[in-house]
Structure 1
Amino acid sequence: MVTERSKYKTGRLTARTANGSGADVFTTGVQPLGLGNRKDGLLYVPQGYDNSKPAALAVMLHGAGAPAEQGLSLLQQYADEHNIILVAPASRKYSWDIIASEGFGPDVIFIDQALSHVFENYSIDPAHLAIGGFSDGGSYALCVGLTNGDLFTHIIAFSSGFVFTMEKNGKPEVFISHGIDDPVLPIDPCGRRIVPQLKQQGLEVSYTEFDGGHEIPNYISGSSVNWFLQQEK
Structure 2
Amino acid sequence: MRPDLRFEQAAHYIVSYQYMAHDRTLRAELYYKDYQKLVRFDGANPLNAAAYANSGGGYARGLDLFYRDRYQTFKKIDFWVSYGLLDTRRQFRADLAPAVPTFAATHNLSLVGKYWLATLHTQVGATYSYGSPRAYYNPNLPGYNQGRTPSFQTLDLSLSYLTHLAGQYTIVYLGVSNVLNRDNIFGYRYAAAPDAAGHYAGVPTRLLAPQMLVAAVFISINKKAPGDTTVAPD
Relative to its length, the structure with more helix (as a share) is: 1
With the length of structure 2 as denominator, give the TM-score of the two structures.
Answer: 0.27
With the length of structure 1 as denominator, give the TM-score of the two structures.
Answer: 0.28
Greater relative contact order (CA < 8 Å, ≥ 6 in sequence): 1
Relative to its length, the structure with more strand (as a share) is: 2
